[in-house]
Chain A
């Protein structure tokens, strides 16, 4: 049973501990408890003793006060320890838990702790810990669920996204109560993720939650709610209203939602917005639109922005603004699988002169349009016949002039074509790119098996031989020895006379093999390898010999 006076006295004593026992003598805030405790002491002797101890404290001289303070403090704590109530005398309600079976908890501390730390502490390597634990199936443990759901609010967005995209969908609907418990309709990004996941996990009342969000949510949750409602045609009217909302993000989401639900009014609204000054709000919607008629109308709007850029004698500021607009609106061509769109791509590379105009721009500005084109070409290639047509587009745009600026084009072309062409055809097309230095050897293996210089050493491997034309081996034969020598060298043997002789051999080969004033990616890899195993004072000499900066 809690006796308030004892707690108050406890607080007063704490104050004295903090301020110092030297202030105890005659302290009225403590003395005032003596009569009360003495009275209580008539029934409970322990209170009488407490009153005596308090009295000693407030009458003690400075030198004895510390002793008296700890004495009364310890005594009071001991009394309070016996006074603690083990229950709350309040109205009881039934527990709402639904689980009728206990889950297994066989994951030991050594596996759980790193995961909990990764989800609760800010420290490096957290993402890897979660990815590895997920791959090892260690996250499906009910003791982790709360932490995982809380991870949706993590400031490190890659981690939050991984949890949203991979972890929770893999473990599935068991997360629904955890998501509901922590979902706040007025919350932020994490709550938008919760709503999205509830929908993904087929929670029955997602539509109700989404409608509630339309009424009450802040922007980010509201946008997610619109995505959900756009799957139901009956909400067309609501989305049309939202497409006129004062918040741009809401208008944008509503417009995209209308296109997804195939709303005729929505499509017209999209074209209208795309043609106006606030066209950016309609780009997402335009991306979702695949219909021929609208695709061509979108293309013609994109072309208008392109043509504006090519107007003569534009002020630099005006050019920059037009260019930014063109970059933004170009995204609207996503998902457009129409002949005229492909022709526009080719036109851009071959005739428009656009690339000449932007050749001095920063690379991220310069590469925006080609990357979007490559993305769109790949994105549309779900059928074989479409692929063949797109290969032809690649062939057209991979001209010598273009790949000089965008070597990426050839790599994409290579990866695209090797499943359709014969090995010999692939060799015939791409060896010429290699010879002219536009393609490095790693491409032969597709993506990443043996990157850089190491690729050449594996040309003879059976797994590689099966995939490529034998002529590739001949093409690289004369280099293979040098690469093999280099691979055998390390920091220790590079210092020996034999090692130095080998390094000289490789350097001679590299210097002789240098093409058109620059080294290929593979060659640069090899040079860095040599620099890594040689002494620092030799580096200048090596670079001079190779004329390498």
Chain B
């Protein structure tokens, strides 16, 4: 069994766990053992308690090692399990021992759980939307009741928003923001979590503005630009949600179904489960994904960290997104995502409803090394006609409720510099001469265009570029931010 340091790092929930695990690996393990079949390592680690912690890492499923430990930590794997793996990777001696009884029992439980999961998947496949049994009267009544509550909540949210707009965003001071917060809190009783979050975001931004005003800091209309965009998003959402739910509640056959064509369900507050996606046939079987880029940021208004992965599907060239949320409160216990460098082979790739770059997730995967065939394939999948891409991007972003930062992989035919007011911008073009300006815009704060400028024209014109679009109303530019470069032989990441 071979375990690399990088692989162990990728399993760790956060950087501190890596650091602590490495420290423990050196000399804190009293017994280090490995099973004869090389599938489990286990040992005892000295901790702050009287008795040493008994910990193990089971590699029976090579792609999904299970760390177990008797310590009270809620991190999985904990620093002790990580330390044990680092000790193994360091080449420290491990005595060959029988697999402990409790691990065998737990393996049995996992097998049973996997069986149940497979059964569920099988059932979900069989029990799809087309073949599902009609809903019972009780289920329909419950659904109608829920929708009516949602409509009540939407009416309340609408009233709150209108009140703010009537008085003006600048009228929100710290005192009124506090009163509004209480009212926004009440929205939590109406099954409209998505709407509530949007409202919280607006209130947070307005509170910051109020604070700036209080501190006599600069507070001009530019600073309100973001809040106004959020207000427009929320008002559009309220309008669409109201008409969607009203229509839904009016037709009995629609009451228990979910809209899978748009993101409205999620935007109102629905949390998609894998079974839902399976039920609505929102999945691809045996898909292969390659991560082209990764970014993580702190969403202060949502009080959580957001990890985003940008992947290309080797089967159809679609660019997908993964989004992982780590609320501040649980940040220690939720694994932080990281850059992934191989090919993810997925038995099922679940796809959320959405626009150009749909959100995806999966449950179990096999990681294979990224080979030259796959890279060449990715390069060949890059879009050669910018006009088509730009058209679809504009079509998406004109919708107030859509993702405003679509991604695309563009093949570069030419690249040059244009200068405006002493600022130099990179501009790429396709074989027809359609141009696309590159800028450091959007919510990704890491600057990348400067890195691009270091490369020669010859190199760049043999490459494709993963970009994120953003439309800047003020400048009237639909600009693209470079995230990664793809050639026939390599993927060069400009962020993470």
Binding site for B on A (CB under 8 A): 1-2, 7, 10-11, 14-23, 62-63, 65-67, 69-70, 73-74, 77-88, 90-103, 105-106, 108-114, 116, 142-143, 146, 177
Contact = CB atoms under 8 A, between A and B. Distances in A.
Contacts of B397: 81
B422 interface: no
A145 to B, nearest CB: 9
Given A22-B167, A84-B476, A14 B228 contact: yes
16 contacts: A14-B221, A17-B168, A17-B169, A20-B166, A20-B168, A84-B472, A84-B478, A85-B477, A87-B427, A87-B437, A95-B415, A95-B417, A95-B460, A102-B487, A109-B295, A110-B338
Given A99-B455, A102-B459, 5 more contacts: A18-B170, A70-B235, A109-B496, A143-B493, A143-B494
Interface stretch (B77-85, B148-156, B269-277, B443-451): B443-451
Contact of B162 (A66, A109, A110): A66
Nearest to B448: A143
Contacts of A81: 394, 397-398, 471
Interface residues of B, number: 84
Nearest to A84: B478
Contacts, number: 207
Interface in B433-477: 434-437, 446-447, 450-460, 471-477
A74 B169 contact: no
A177 B473 contact: no
B458 to A, nearest CB: 7
Contact of B496 (A11, A86, A112): A112
Nearest to A22: B166
A2 B475 CA distance: 8
A66 B166 contact: yes
B418 A88 contact: yes
A20 B420 contact: no
B111 interface: no
A1 B12 CA distance: 49
A110 B225 contact: no
A7 B457 contact: no
A77 B233 CA distance: 11
Contacts of B365: none
B493 A97 contact: no
Contacts of A101: 459
Interface in B256-311: 294-296
A105 B18 CA distance: 21
A123 to B, nearest CB: 13
A78 B398 contact: yes
B165 A17 contact: yes
A410 B453 CA distance: 59
B165 A86 contact: no
Contacts of A94: 416-417, 457
Q: Sort A-B residue pairs by CB-CB distance and give the 3 closest, nearest first.
A: A20-B168, A2-B476, A84-B478
A81 B469 CA distance: 12
A142 B339 contact: no
B6 interface: yes
Contact of A105 (B167, B225, B229, B492): B492
Contact of A14 (B225, B418, B472): B225
B121 interface: no
Contacts of A103: 492
B355 to A, nearest CB: 13
B44 interface: no
A321 B292 CA distance: 68
A261 B399 CA distance: 71
A526 B18 CA distance: 34
A98 B15 CA distance: 36
Given A14-B225, A20-B168, A78-B398, A93 B416 contact: yes
Contacts of A90: 418-420
B39 interface: no
Contacts of A69: 165
Nearest to B234: A70
B155 to A, nearest CB: 13
B386 interface: yes
Binding site secondary structure of chain A: helix
B341 interface: yes
Given A81-B397, A91-B418, A95-B426, A7 B473 contact: yes
B6 A108 contact: yes
Nearest to A101: B459
A130 to B, nearest CB: 14
Given A78-B399, A86-B437, A91-B419, A70 B165 contact: yes
A110 B460 contact: no
B94 interface: no
A85 B393 CA distance: 12
A87 B435 contact: yes
Given A18-B170, A95-B416, A109-B496, A85 B476 contact: yes
Contacts of A177: 454
A84 B469 CA distance: 11
Given A22-B167, A109-B338, A82 B419 contact: no
B228 A73 contact: yes
B166 A113 contact: no
B208 interface: no
Contacts of B201: none
A88 B416 contact: no
B476 A7 contact: yes
B425 interface: yes
Contacts of B454: 97-99, 142, 177
B66 interface: no
B9 interface: yes
B224 interface: yes
B453 A97 contact: yes
Contacts of A108: 6, 9-10, 338-339, 341, 496
A443 B224 CA distance: 66
B54 interface: no
Interface string B408-419: 000000011111
A519 B355 CA distance: 76
A78 B232 CA distance: 11
A216 B420 CA distance: 28
A91 to B, nearest CB: 7
Contacts of A86: 386, 390, 434-437, 477-480
Contact of B166 (A7, A62, A102): A62
B296 A113 contact: yes
Contacts of B18: 110
Nearest to B386: A86
B336 interface: yes
A135 to B, nearest CB: 13
B232 A97 contact: no
Contact of B427 (A10, A20, A92, A96): A92
B235 A74 contact: yes
B490 interface: yes
B171 interface: yes
B496 A113 contact: yes
A101 B454 CA distance: 10
A448 to B, nearest CB: 19
B425 A88 contact: yes
Nearest to A75: B400
Contacts of A98: 454, 456
A84 B441 CA distance: 14
B99 interface: no
Which residue of A69, A88, A101, A177 has the most chain B CB atoms within 10 A of its CB atom?
A88
Contacts of A77: 229, 232, 400, 473
Nearest to A142: B451
Given A91-B419, A116-B446, A74 B232 contact: yes
A113 B298 CA distance: 13
Contacts of A15: 221
A144 B416 CA distance: 24
B165 A21 contact: yes
Contact of B471 (A63, A74, A80): A80
